């Protein structure tokens, strides 16, 4: 007879394993389902995480294994396309050994009492009475099993293998469109020179190398680095661009990778958009990349994955205690996530769309004129907006006069970032009000997209 769980979690990456740890620690029966062998779980990422996320992890009671950290970062260097301008944005963080990180989190979940069910490929959700009641999965021998639960957590990554198989009336089934994603390729390499200032990650804006995105050089030691690039999914689909081809064309023979010895390579899809209209449904929630919990500007997702899992776990525990795992019963997760991160994410999505319409020439001139200072970039990355004093607004206006075409787009983005923030502050307190709110949100986004000459959104 198939076992009944309180919670079934699909995907043993950062989001899924952390959620399994949190809920099993609270005494819930939890199944963590993974298609790979548990020992082989590994995700292609930039491998970087902010120190504040690690600090939050320790507060949850986890003892972090020191071998997951390869390097400590002090900040980020941001370069213009012509390399003539460099910004430095301070910020502490770590470069992870992502394989050891994955194993550490899976072991934490296992040690807290979660059942680790690996080598199981999830096929579809089980839907009964309008509720998700678990998943159907294939074992490695080809036989099928049903893993039933009161709540199902989709932590399967950007593909969202559970939520995307739900009927369209479930708002959580919203597809991830190419225009709201970046297609990335990266390599872990060893070089034959001593990397200067390995304590700083490097981000390079260049629409020839990484159209609509950026390419990066993240040191992991003085000889090892994570090097890759992302291309706006819209351009991948419309123009047939390929991040791996661009890597080979522009980076593989560059001085940055001198003496390159390949240690690992891989690619993937990175969500870079506003939060989904809803991250919950009756009997189901989404976390991590499956919930598009990613920074829309730089694509960082490890920290937001941890945050989304912490908030989802709290909402699920409360819903189970009340005996109400309906959409309304789980709605608190939407509200908590927006307050903690989602409103900022929505604002940064507005800024992201503006950046993706700038040419290399506009980026060069805008950065040269310092239309945003390092402090303003840092402030935006922390809060998602710029609340400037009257004096600072005057100073910014004088800077903007130097680059009127870029200034128009920046001013437009800042205006709509504020308007979108107001809409998300008024996010509905219950599911019955969601459709009207969503219609108004899409209308506001389309006002902005028309001004940027981008295709309109639909509901």
Strands 48-50 and 261-271: unpaired
Average pLDDT on 307-325 reads 98
Contact 86, 77 (CB under 8 A): yes
Model confidence over 56-69: pLDDT tens digits?
998 888 889 889 99
pLDDT value at position 396? 61
Average pLDDT on 245-263 reads 96
Is residue 204 predicted with pLDDT exceeding 80? yes
* Residue of 242 and 402 predicted with greater confidence: 242
CB atoms within 10 A of CB 107: 15
Is residue 389 predicted with pLDDT exceeding 60? no
pLDDT value at position 393? 58
> Could you write out the three-class secondary structure of the chain?
CCCEEEEEEECCCHHHHHHHHHHHHCCCCEEEECCCCHHHCCCCCCCEEEHHHHHHHHHCCCCCCHHHEEEEEEEEEEECCCCCCEEEEEEEEEEECHHHHHHHHHHHHHHCCCEEECCEEEEEEEEECCEEEEEEEEECCCCEEEEEEEEEEECCCCCCCCHHHCCCCCHHHCCCCHHHEEEEEEEEEECCCCCCCCCEEEEECCCCCCCCCCEEEEECCCCEEEEEEEEEHHHHHHHCCCHHHHHHHHHCCCHHHCCCEEEEEEEEEEECCCCCCCCEECCEEECHHHHCCCCCCCCCCHHHHHHHHHHHHHHHHHHHHHCCCCHHHHCHHHHHHHHHHHHHHHHHHHHHHHHCCCCHHHHHHHHHCCCCCHHHHHHHHHHCCCCCCHHHHHHHHHHHCCCHHHHHHHHHHHHHHHHHHHHHHCCCCCHHHHHHHHHHHHHHHHHHHHHHCCCCCCC
pLDDT value at position 1? 39
Model confidence over 359-381: pLDDT tens digits?
999 999 999 988 888 887 777 77
Average pLDDT on 289-293 reads 98
pLDDT value at position 459? 80
Provide the mean pLDDT of the chain.
Answer: 94
Average pLDDT on 167-184 reads 97
Model confidence over 154-164: pLDDT tens digits?
999 999 999 99
- Tell me the two tokens of residue 348: 């940064």
| C-alpha–C-alpha distance, residues 320 and 304, integer Å | 24
Model confidence over 56-103: pLDDT tens digits?
998 888 889 889 999 999 999 999 999 999 999 999 999 999 999 999
Is residue 439 predicted with pLDDT exceeding 70? yes
| C-alpha–C-alpha distance, residues 309 and 317, integer Å | 12
Average pLDDT on 165-172 reads 96
């Amino acid at each position: 007879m198939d076992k009944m769980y309180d919670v079934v979690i699909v995907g043993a990456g950062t989001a899924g394993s952390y959620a399994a740890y949190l809920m099993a620690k609270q005494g819930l029966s939890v199944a963590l389902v993974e298609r790979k062998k548990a020992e082989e779980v590994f995700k292609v990422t930039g491998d970087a995480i902010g120190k504040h996320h690690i600090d939050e992890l320790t507060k949850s009671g986890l003892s972090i294994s020191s071998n997951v950290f390869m390097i400590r970062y002090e900040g980020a260097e941001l370069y213009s396309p012509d390399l003539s301008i460099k910004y430095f944005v301070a910020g502490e963080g770590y470069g992870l050994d992502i394989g050891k990180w994955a194993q550490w989190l899976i072991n934490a979940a296992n040690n807290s009492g979660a059942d680790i069910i690996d080598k199981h490929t999830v096929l579809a959700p089980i839907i009964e009475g309008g509720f998700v009641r678990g998943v159907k999965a294939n074992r490695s021998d080809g036989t099928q099993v049903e893993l039933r639960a009161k709540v199902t957590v989709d932590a399967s990554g950007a593909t969202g293998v559970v939520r995307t198989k739900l009927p369209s009336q479930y708002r959580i089934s919203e597809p991830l469109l190419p225009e709201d994603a970046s297609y990335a390729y990266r390599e872990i390499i060893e070089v034959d020179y001593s990397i200067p200032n390995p304590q700083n990650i490097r981000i390079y804006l260049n629409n020839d190398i990484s159209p609509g995105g950026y390419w990066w050089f993240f040191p992991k030691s003085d000889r090892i680095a994570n090097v890759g690039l992302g291309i706006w999914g819209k351009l991948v689909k419309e123009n047939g661009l390929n991040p791996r081809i661009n890597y080979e064309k522009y980076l593989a023979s560059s001085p940055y990778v001198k003496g390159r010895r390949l240690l690992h390579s891989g690619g993937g899809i990175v969500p870079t958009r506003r939060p989904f209209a809803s991250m919950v449904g009756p009997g189901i929630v989404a976390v991590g990349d499956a919930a598009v919990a990613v920074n829309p500007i730089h694509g960082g997702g490890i920290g937001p994955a941890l945050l989304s899992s912490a908030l989802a776990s709290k909402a699920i525990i409360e819903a189970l205690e009340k005996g109400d795992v309906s959409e309304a019963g789980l709605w608190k997760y939407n509200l908590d996530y927006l307050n903690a991160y989602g409103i900022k994410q929505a604002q940064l999505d507005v800024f992201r769309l503006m950046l993706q319409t700038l040419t290399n020439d506009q980026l060069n001139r805008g950065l040269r004129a310092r239309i945003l200072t390092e402090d303003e970039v840092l402030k935006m990355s922390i809060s998602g907006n710029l609340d400037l004093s009257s004096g600072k607004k005057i100073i910014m206006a004088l800077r903007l006069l130097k680059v009127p075409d870029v200034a128009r787009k920046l001013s437009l983005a800042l205006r709509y970032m504020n308007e979108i923030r107001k809409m998300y502050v008024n996010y509905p307190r219950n599911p019955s009000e969601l459709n009207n709110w969503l219609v108004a949100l899409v209308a506001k986004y389309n006002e902005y997209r028309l001004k940027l000459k981008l295709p309109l959104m639909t509901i």
